[in-house]
Structure 1
């Protein structure tokens, strides 16, 4: 059975967090130096606080008693009035000095904690952005949001609200025990008799606190994930009357999270109350034995009173230890969750020696390219393809034939399991990933718009974009007219994901955004799917203008959009089954021709039916 101390269990996790983020912490060395100096000053002043009380008792209130300790301070020749004045001034000086030290210690560490936390969150979010699609498809977005926001805040507790008080408590405890031992060793040993009991209690309960905290964080992630999933698909949820089903699921997960939170609080409260009882026992022992020493004239009354004050203050660090071990356990659990993400290695990343991509001419070659999302399931199988600069390629075929996968490989969202992809004669993997993707514009079936103005959505990611350029892109996309009809024109704020606009309007804004990028390669994945005839025609016209002089890949089930392509590829089970122009494929009377004729017949029939 593992009986390791929970703090011993937590220390490796905390140490891993500190070492991982040491560069960010080290950058704040000036503030950390201020914090360290003021921390030591605070501890020293805590040790001085009881001594004016000793001088008051032994030098003023009981002046007839021999005061051997007063001679150490040079106060034996002072009259009571001067000694009272010095005691009062000393109390004020100690209090003011400690207030100043505590203020600068707290402020400096608060700044350090906030700065480091912000950098940690930036690093975590940036790493999540770089992790491969494979990871994101398996993870739950709500849980990731919890890790970026709430778990990152918990790390600040390690530095500010838990680790710092614990360090102060331990240093103060060490100093007080040293002074107490100097005053009377036997009394000191008696006062420490209850410490082993505290240590056993802290070990036992803190382990449970840490486990409950980690379980609670997982439950909070599940709650956030359920909320994010249902709210992001609220239209479908309402359309299928799934509101109550999701509400019940959310309630069950919320209750489990609540129960774990209550359990964590209950365990922490048990630990703190147990420490209170141990403190009472320790104080009773010291009061009894200390009183006996005063009666026997072995110690002065002032010394015993100072000793009791020290003892009471010495137990405060013990109380803080009980309190903050629980917090450190929670912070360690959050730190583990963040480090788990940072330990994930992106499947797709720049290889050593990768170079910035030059401006592409647009010649693209697939040579014996194979790929599968699972080792035993090939989506593309030995595919070969050559595309000349400025050529328009239409990819058609049944769902699952590998059309969108081919585009994902071109964007390097995935790497081929076999074969290579070349642009202008160089392997994609020779180029830095960002410089590669910056030369590709993408219009997807479900265009992503942000909760921002129309103008900001069109120019998103383009620094220094002028209003003239934005308007020109909107005109190219057949969007300028409907934008002007909106309440604030280009300054109209669209809803999150563009829900305040129609599907055709969203697609035209996506085309305008692609036009702003002015890239040599254009990728279109079902850009007209789900649009009515009017919007489809407007989008099609915009796409035709957008594709001019660009190497273009178009994935579509609507073969009318493929007619004007320079090459049409009919994909079947990851291979090119037919390839050629529209006229060439019709002349062959193969699967493409059959599919085109059936689509045309269905369109005519539907039109006549109206």
Structure 2
């Protein structure tokens, strides 16, 4: 078998393997659709017989000496054949309509389940794995690639199977009527298979390139839209348009090639059908003159040939669609084949009331081989202790927070909570014991209340309102017409940075986890918002093990103990009042005090400012 044939078979096998588990739940719909399509085949077989009876009857009435005996033409016969034709076509249309509806319903359900499965899988991948992929391409696989898989599983696959049955049934009936005509149809089928064999591999390869180009296109668009402020501020519009245009042109060329190959297969099939019809006209007419067939038989043979050739046309049409969908199926399968790096253990330790004792022992971690981030880091935090982790950029501070949440696993060493290695704990439960507040507060489209409720979805309204009050969210929502039910735009763009951060803190208040991780919570905020956020953090940290990762001198001074991390190791730790913060942060080139003053000059905003007018 040629290389392209092996690739095509492998791709199709992977695609069918994706959808097969989801077909089981749709057996009733698919079986009903297949049954109706098989009934349609029966009606197609019966459809030309009334015409044969009329032609032969009229021929007898005109004095033709036919080989077989039969009734002459009469008003009753003509009326009966006309009614029979209407009945057969009506039942065929009903069967086709029912099958189309059932297959469409089943296909949509299969696609919905597969899309949900893929989305759930994507959420299990680690931060490292997400960093290695392009979000626009992942979205493309989730949305359009799975949509195309419906063509393999249902829209094309099942009708294709029934068309093959139709073709075999028609050839069988032709063999019964006249073996010579059956041989003509069989030769046409063999020639088509040869055409298809040489074309399908090329269509699949071209379609694979097209889907890859479209994924790149989606990634460029997503990156540009997400960074539109930077694009406009730095005048990058032309450069981004050039990159988008290049990928767009490549997608166009690959798409045109795939469709040109598919169209070529369809047109060759049309020529094949024409040649076959001409052969039947010649041979069939000669056999009628020879007395081996009646004129009615010739009508049936021509009708069957036309009906039998329709599956060939459909095979050509569906071959291109299946090839394109198979390329999409490969992309979905590739994503599902990525094994999550971080998963719950098969036999996790029993849950316990977490006290918040955190330790990192001999932790080593490298994002890339030969580029270590942590170099044997040792760190212990007592239950309820408030510590600040400071150090130059790239020293590994934020990695400490990621390890506590098990967003990353160390290459060596142990990260433990209450003396239990976090790798032995159920992943979902572990993360429920830690509340995270990031530098860039992440909000989702919805209301402010809904964003706070993400901290604990089962919280009652009173608990949500109390968390909002403690995080100083109500200081600006009370001035809004809809209060906490105010809708925010994508990524919270209709809120100021300080407002978003307070919503993020409210989410942590509602979570009420025993361990709190704050990663640069005050960076980039104006002085008024820094004061509000700092006060809220002080209330939030009370009674909890708190790890604040910061460049801000004042925020670090609020902690009981400061831990200095440099070059992936702890180089100093002790009381906050004695910490060499100015020296450490000066090494980074950006003392937090200066950053905060600059933010106050450039982005000063009153803490009680309502939703910005952009909303």
TM-score by length of structure 2 reads 0.92
Partner in structure 2 of residue 32 of structure 1: 30
Contact (CA 8 Å) 2:148, 2:328: kept in 1 or not?
A: yes
Partner in structure 2 of residue 362 of structure 1: 356
Contact (CA 8 Å) 2:435, 2:516: kept in 1 or not?
A: yes
**C-alpha distance in structure 2 between counterparts of 1:457 and 1:297, whole Å:** 84
Task: Write out per-residue CA displacement over residues 477-532 of structure 1, whole angstroms, 9 at most, x where no aligned residue.
Answer: 12211112234322222221112221111111111111111111110000000112
Q: Displacement of 1:595 after TM fit?
A: 7.7
Partner in structure 1 of residue 522 of structure 2: 528
Partner in structure 1 of residue 375 of structure 2: 381
1:449 to 443, 447, 452: 443
SS at match of 2:446: coil
Task: Write out per-residue CA displacement over residues 362-399 of structure 1, whole angstroms, 9 at most, x where no aligned residue.
Answer: 11121222111123222112222222211111101111
Task: Write out per-residue CA displacement over residues 138-179 of structure 1, whole angstroms, 9 at most, x where no aligned residue.
Answer: 111111111000001001111232112211221111001111
* Distance verdict in 2 for CA 1:508–1:337, change over 3 Å: same
More moved, 239-248 vs 77-86: 77-86
Partner in structure 1 of residue 99 of structure 2: 105
Q: Does 1:480 find its partner at 2:478?
A: no
Q: Does 1:538 find its partner at 2:532?
A: yes
Contact (CA 8 Å) 2:526, 2:596: kept in 1 or not?
A: no
Task: Write out per-residue CA displacement over residues 228-263 of structure 1, whole angstroms, 9 at most, x where no aligned residue.
Answer: 001001111111111121122212211221222222
1:54 to 52, 58, 62: 52
**C-alpha distance in structure 1 between counterparts of 2:376 and 2:246, whole Å:** 49
Partner in structure 2 of residue 397 of structure 1: 391
SS at match of 1:522: strand
Partner in structure 2 of residue 337 of structure 1: 331
**C-alpha distance in structure 2 between counterparts of 1:371 and 1:562, whole Å:** 25
Contact (CA 8 Å) 1:585, 1:593: kept in 2 or not?
A: no
Partner in structure 2 of residue 467 of structure 1: 461
Q: Displacement of 1:594 after TM fit?
A: 8.7
Q: Displacement of 1:4 after TM fit?
A: 6.3
Q: Does 1:514 find its partner at 2:508?
A: yes
Q: Displacement of 1:277 after TM fit?
A: 1.3
* Distance verdict in 2 for CA 1:103–1:578, change over 3 Å: same
Partner in structure 2 of residue 73 of structure 1: none
**C-alpha distance in structure 1 between counterparts of 2:587 and 2:3, whole Å:** 69
SS at match of 1:513: helix
**C-alpha distance in structure 1 between counterparts of 2:230 and 2:211, whole Å:** 29
* Distance verdict in 2 for CA 1:404–1:186, change over 3 Å: same
Q: Displacement of 1:21 after TM fit?
A: 3.1
Q: Displacement of 1:602 after TM fit?
A: 6.8
SS at match of 1:379: strand
Unmatched 5+ residue regions in structure 1? 71-75
**C-alpha distance in structure 2 between counterparts of 1:566 and 1:554, whole Å:** 11
* Distance verdict in 2 for CA 1:286–1:601, change over 3 Å: closer
Unmatched 5+ residue regions in structure 2? 602-615
SS at match of 2:439: coil
Task: Write out per-residue CA displacement over residues 294-332 of structure 1, whole angstroms, 9 at most, x where no aligned residue.
Answer: 111111110011001111111111111111100000110
Q: Does 1:413 find its partner at 2:439?
A: no
- Summarize the alignment of residues 212-227 of structure 1 with structure 2, pairs less than 5 Å apart: 212-227=206-221
Q: Does 1:293 find its partner at 2:276?
A: no
Q: Does 1:582 find its partner at 2:580?
A: no
Count of residues in correspondence between the two structures: 598
Contact (CA 8 Å) 1:359, 1:439: kept in 2 or not?
A: no
* Distance verdict in 2 for CA 1:300–1:456, change over 3 Å: same
Contact (CA 8 Å) 1:445, 1:529: kept in 2 or not?
A: yes
Contact (CA 8 Å) 1:578, 1:592: kept in 2 or not?
A: no
**C-alpha distance in structure 2 between counterparts of 1:246 and 1:225, whole Å:** 12
**C-alpha distance in structure 2 between counterparts of 1:349 and 1:377, whole Å:** 25
SS at match of 2:547: strand
- Summarize the alignment of residues 23-422 of structure 1 with structure 2, pairs less than 5 Å apart: 23-63=21-61, 65=64, 76=70, 80-355=74-349, 357-422=351-416
**C-alpha distance in structure 1 between counterparts of 2:591 and 2:44, whole Å:** 86
Q: Displacement of 1:93 after TM fit?
A: 2.6
**C-alpha distance in structure 2 between counterparts of 1:212 and 1:355, whole Å:** 51
**C-alpha distance in structure 1 between counterparts of 2:554 and 2:419, whole Å:** 32
Task: Write out per-residue CA displacement over residues 17-55 of structure 1, whole angstroms, 9 at most, x where no aligned residue.
Answer: 333332321011111221222122111221111111111
Q: Displacement of 1:281 after TM fit?
A: 1.2
Contact (CA 8 Å) 2:19, 2:153: kept in 1 or not?
A: no
TM-score by length of structure 1 reads 0.92
Q: Does 1:551 find its partner at 2:545?
A: yes
